[in-house]
Amino acid sequence: MKQLIIKDLHVEIEGKKILKGVNLTIKSGEIHAIMGPNGTGKSTLAAVIMGDQKYTVTAGEIHLDSENILELEVDQRARLGLFLAMQYPAAISGITNSDFIRSAISAQGKNDESLIKYIRRLENNIGELKMQRDMANRYLNEGFSGGEKKRNEILQMKMLKPNFAILDEIDSGLDIDALTVVGQNLTEEISNRSSELGLLMITHYQRLLDYIHPTHVHVMLDGRIVESGDANLAKKLETDGYEKLKDKYGITEIEEEENKRVSIGSCATAVGVGASNEKS
Amino acid sequence: MKRVDYFFKGIKIDPNEKFISNEKIVSVNNSEIKEEINQIKNNLFPIINPVKVITLKSGEYHLTQIIDKDKTFKNIRIIIKENSKVKLYDFTKSTYSDKNMHFSNIEIIIEKESKVYYLKIDEFKNETIYSNTEIEVEENAQVDVDLIGFNQGKTFNNFKINLRGKHAVGNFKAIAIANQGTENLYEVAINNYAPLTKGDIWQKAVATNKGSNQLFTTGFIAPKCSKAENYQESRVLLLDDAANGDVSPILLIEHHDVLAGHAAGVSRVNSDELYYLMSRGITKHEAEKLITLAFVRPLIDSLPTEELQESTLLKVNSFLNN
């Protein structure tokens, strides 16, 4: 059994404090959900666990078993079994989905699978996620709809079989049918790999938790986890909202996270490597 | 009143471009290099006469040449007859490197109604190469050029397409990889000398390990060329701090009823793309390689045979690993 331990984590971006002491332990087989209003640092927590260089860790530790992963690069963390399903994955024209996933599998040292077996497994998973058949040969996230991008993240998770998967708002931008498909796939993945997989889901809404039943629910407010409990906590939140909790912990106003991207213009013919205009 | 129909879309501003400013590009390198080219041209042109004239009809032709010791190469005029469909493969390799300057001069005249595909793959080891290619395109004729450069020395590549007759079309695509010791200079121009002509330039250059790529791209539309079109896109990707790249996009337009546009940029590997690939366990080096291949991929994927696609891909890979 593996453990992901976060101790007293403080994080800032450009001098602005976002996380103010987060403590959390996730063990293999557990399903954690972090809920909370916008701008409380949920996505920051996910990005910092994965190793996004944009954020500065000012205090605290993150351990995967005995290893201090804050000292490791993003790719090293991934090879230890961490996986982040991103809210805004990059689109890269020129790399096919299939090549990308195979490169990732071989980078993680799991390339004992033959090419034919790999393709069969990829096609199976694409079918299970009810994605379009040509998904394997399309360029990575290029021209994908919001829902297709989310499914593509889950596809990678199914192909890579990580020890700890963090799902950053995997439910946002999905319609009810797509949510059902993603929910079913995740449920299946959890039941197939129950003792090997630890899951951390970040969400605004309770509706994802109708499909995937968490063992632990946490509420995050103003850069801290203020309350933890079981699945009932999520239901209580759905009826009460966050206002009661804000009052209880004396938080009057929560600043909006300033990570909105602004377009600075587009170019004449096509988008090159240097540009990514997928973010909004 | 006549409508002013041409437009400039301007140089793209990329957040990753910060480290290389436009002023630096234009003021330092431009003039020095231009002067150097002019010197070379002055020395060369008096001796260039078409020593070999080849006339081609429909078919596939190979122009493979190897640069041996003490041998300057290629000084050819190719005439493609009316109504022909020609595929021309031009592979030039140097087998050894020396300090002499070598030059190549190719002139291709494409007569009416012909369609030509011209693939040129350069693998120059020599210290200095001057390669001059001029293509004349007559009425209703079309040329599609793919130029690929794996050069190890100093290369001046002067490439000009003149669209002489109505409805002439010139499409130019190029990729160039620069590694240690490579100084690529591409001077590419498409000139619209007739109405209803259409020119398009697409260039991607990658520089790593002190390599250098400079792209001077010109689109020219002559007076009275109504409904002419001229587009260009040039991009340089720099893989490390020591690599060097300039882009200089120029549009010269002397008529009002035309369409033209240019895009250009010098940038490093996009950090968001790198982060995404690395978050799946791919090492930084491998991720950069994947992004680089993706950058030049559109040209490689459009090569006419699978063998060519594969061998080019392999060469890009090995050139980047050197």
CB contact under 8 A, A107 and B262: no
Q: Higher pLDDT residue, B95 or B231?
A: B231
A203-226 confidence digits (pLDDT tens):
887 788 888 889 999 999 888 998
B199 found inside a domain: yes
Which range (A177-191, B14-28, B260-274, B276-290) has the least confidence?
B14-28
B293 found inside a domain: no
- DSSP class of residue A134? G
How far is Cα B123 from Cα B120, in angstroms, rounded to an integer? 10
B8 found inside a domain: no
User: Which of B234, B276, B317 to mutate to probe the A interface, most A CBs <10 Å?
Assistant: B276
Which range (A13-17, B67-71, B196-200) has the least confidence?
B67-71
- Cα B100 to Cα A125, B65, B93, B129, distances in angstroms: 59, 17, 15, 9
Q: Higher pLDDT residue, B206 or B19?
A: B206
Contact B148, B131 (CB under 8 A): no
Whether the per-residue pLDDT at B71 is higher than 90: the answer is: no
**Which residue among A50, A78, A95 places its CB closest to the CB of B290?**
A95
B9-66 confidence digits (pLDDT tens):
222 233 333 322 222 222 234 455 556 555 555 544 434 444 677 888 888 888 777 6
- Fold observed for domain A3-93+161-248: Rossmann fold (3.40.50)
**Which residue among A108, A267, A273 places its CB closest to the CB of B263?**
A267
How far is Cα A137 from Cα B101, in angstroms, rounded to an integer? 45
Which range (A92-101, B20-29, B84-93) has the least confidence?
B20-29
**Sorting pLDDT into bands at 50, 70 and 90, what band is B179?**
confident
* pLDDT score of B106: 85
Residue A206: CB atoms within 10 A of its CB come to 17
How far is Cα B303 from Cα B30, in angstroms, rounded to an integer? 32
Whether the per-residue pLDDT at A136 is higher than 60: the answer is: yes
CB contact under 8 A, A94 and B270: no
Q: Nearest CA to CA, how far is B74 from chain A (Å)?
A: 35
- Closest B-chain CA to A90: B273
B198 interface with A at CB cutoff 8 Å = no
* pLDDT score of B18: 31
CA atoms within 13 A on the CB side of B256: 4
Average pLDDT over residues A25-53: 91
Q: Higher pLDDT residue, B108 or B74?
A: B108
Q: Is B29 helix (H, G, I), strand (E, B) or coil?
A: helix
* pLDDT score of B29: 41
B288 found inside a domain: no
- Which domain range does residue B190 map to? 15-267
Average pLDDT, chain B: 80
Whether the per-residue pLDDT at B260 is higher than 90: the answer is: yes
B99 found inside a domain: yes
Residues in chain B with CB shorter than 8 Å from the CB of A96 are none
The b-or-e profile of A126-161 (16+ CB within 10 A means b, else e) is: bebbebeeebbebbbbbebeebbbbbbbbbbbbbbb
* pLDDT score of A209: 86
Average pLDDT over residues B79-105: 81
Q: Which residues of chain A are at the B interface, by a Cβ-Cβ cutoff of 8 Å?
A: 50-53, 73-75, 78-79, 83-84, 86, 89-90, 92-95, 99-101, 103-104, 107-108, 139, 156, 160, 264-270, 272-276
B234-255 confidence digits (pLDDT tens):
999 998 888 888 899 999 999 9
Residues in chain B with CB shorter than 8 Å from the CB of A84 are 279
B111 found inside a domain: yes
* pLDDT score of A3: 92
How far is Cα A274 from Cα A268, in angstroms, rounded to an integer? 14
Whether the per-residue pLDDT at B6 is higher than 90: the answer is: no
A51-81 confidence digits (pLDDT tens):
998 999 999 999 999 889 999 999 999 999 9
Q: Is A106 helix (H, G, I), strand (E, B) or coil?
A: helix
Residue that has been written with the tokens 């701008």 in this structure: A39
Domain count, chain B: 1
Q: Where are the domains of chain A?
A: 3-93+161-248
User: Which of B18, B173, B200, B277 to mutate to probe the A interface, most A CBs <10 Å?
Assistant: B277
Q: Nearest CA to CA, how far is A243 from chain B (Å)?
A: 35
- Closest A-chain CA to B9: A268
CB contact under 8 A, A94 and B294: yes
A174-204 confidence digits (pLDDT tens):
888 888 999 999 999 988 887 889 999 998 8
B169 found inside a domain: yes
B291 found inside a domain: no
A241-261 confidence digits (pLDDT tens):
888 888 887 776 555 555 556
DSSP string for A40-80: SSHHHHHHHHHT-TTSEEEEEEEEETTEEGGGS-HHHHHHT
A162-180 confidence digits (pLDDT tens):
999 999 988 888 888 888 9
